[in-house]
Amino acid sequence: MTTQVTIRAMGAGGDGVANLPDGQVYVPFTLPGEVANVAREKNRATLMALLQTSPERQQPVCRHFEECGSCALQHWHDEPYRAWKRELVVSALKGRGLDVEVDALIPCSPRSRRRAVFAARQTERGMLLGFNRHMSHEIIDIVECPVTVREITSRLDDLREVASLLAPGSKPFRLAATLTDAGLDLAASDCGKLTDEQRRDLMALVIKKGFARLSHEGEIIVEPKKPTIQIGKVPVPVPPGGFLQATAEAEEIMASLVISHIGKAKRVADLFCGVGTFALRIAEKSAVHAIENDAAALVALDRAVRHVQGLKPVSIERRDLFRRPLMPKELLPYNAVLFDPPRAGAQEQATELAKSKVEKVVAVSCNPVTLARDLSILVNGGYRIRRVTPIDQFLWSSHVETVVSLVRA
């Protein structure tokens, strides 16, 4: 049975929202103002037919759109899409009582995503490799992806060969491909224990296909070339399965903003520093203390620092900032503090920063909701928000990166 609905707004997850007598219903792949027939299940619905389309609707650029669940918004014109994504940040801040000016969204290019985590599974029809269907565990076998760099999408058949050797059974698993300066770095997970024969076959195939490395659950299986990325002036080894910013383009934009906000600070603390995405660039002008709980990321950063000249001092500390945030006394040496936490945010660290005397704080976040929470803590502690800049690192999705500058009021 279908229900006719009118889409009133776009929800925070990128689905159209319709109001019905018994509550709201969320309809993927619709736009505000559209009228649709939908098949409803509780507060979610499947689009069955569009009866009236929005003038803001455009032709999606990917043949897999509406099947593949990775992109939600290819059907929306750029201008309203970007305004909506900026509004995600505005609304989150207002929800915490922060009525501040937010810059226009900085766009990022298609085909710029340098890391893709594919879902894979062997079937009677062959190896499926792609992304999950929207709100489902079904794998959509892809032949293109306009978000991801061509260096990855041009190798989909080769990746399927690797996947077939990794898990010949029918259990789904993950295969990540990251573009590095040495080529594609592959990392497999959830595919079970490998036999000696599998390892030998995988080593031969990876070498034959020219991949830089293959790791399995963090263990290096074969590494014909050492994967590195360039951060500022420094080549940095990439840990197996390690975290990198999704696009190099967005990383450069974010780093430029961070460095501008830090200004002439002589001593900087970089919290949740990863492999040194910001620390190594900041160190071109300022001494940096870099803190991270991921041991592999810190090893990579340490190796990078040891083999480069011309930087200001970079000290490194392994620390769980959720359990042991830097206390106000520990923050005394720093003129500026940068934090770039996971999606959960940095509530514990923001609480201690709010009690500190640090002159400048820069917050980087991929979650407007937890960012707003952390910023409200800092503002209540006497900081003033100077600038908020959203960046569209996650194209055609509901995710947005944000860089925020604060100063002691």
- Tell me which residues are annotated as active site: 366
Instruction: Tell me what percent of the chain is helix, strand and coil, each rounded to the nearest 5.
Output: 25, 35, 40
- The Cα 396–Cα 373 span in angstroms is 25
Q: Is 111 exposed, middle or buried (0-12, 13-18, 19+ CB in 10 A)?
A: middle
Alpha carbon separation from 249 to 111, 115, 246 (Å, rounded): 11, 13, 9
Q: Which of 369, 343, 392, 372 is nearest to 76 (CA)?
A: 392
Q: Is 211 exposed, middle or buried (0-12, 13-18, 19+ CB in 10 A)?
A: buried
Ligand-binding site membership of 272 (annotated)? yes
Q: SS3 letters for 333-391? A: CCCEEEECCCCCCCHHHHHHHCCCCCCEEEEEECCHHHHHHHHHHHHHCCEEEEEEEEE
Report helix, strand or coil for 23: strand
Question: How far is C-alpha 242 from the geometric centre of its chain's CA atoms?
Answer: 12
Ligand-binding site membership of 340 (annotated)? yes
Structure-block tokens of residue 137: 């565990």
Phi and psi at residue 101, to the nearest 5°: -70, 135
Q: Which residue is listed with tokens 């509550």?
A: 23
- Other CB atoms within a 10 A radius of the CB of residue 174 amount to 16
- The Cα 33–Cα 240 span in angstroms is 46
Hey, which residues does 235 pair with through a beta bridge? 230
Ligand-binding site membership of 245 (annotated)? yes
Q: Is 270 exposed, middle or buried (0-12, 13-18, 19+ CB in 10 A)?
A: buried
Report helix, strand or coil for 274: coil
Q: What residues are designated binding site for S-adenosyl-L-methionine?
A: 245, 272, 292, 340
Specify binding-site residues.
Answer: 245, 272, 292, 340
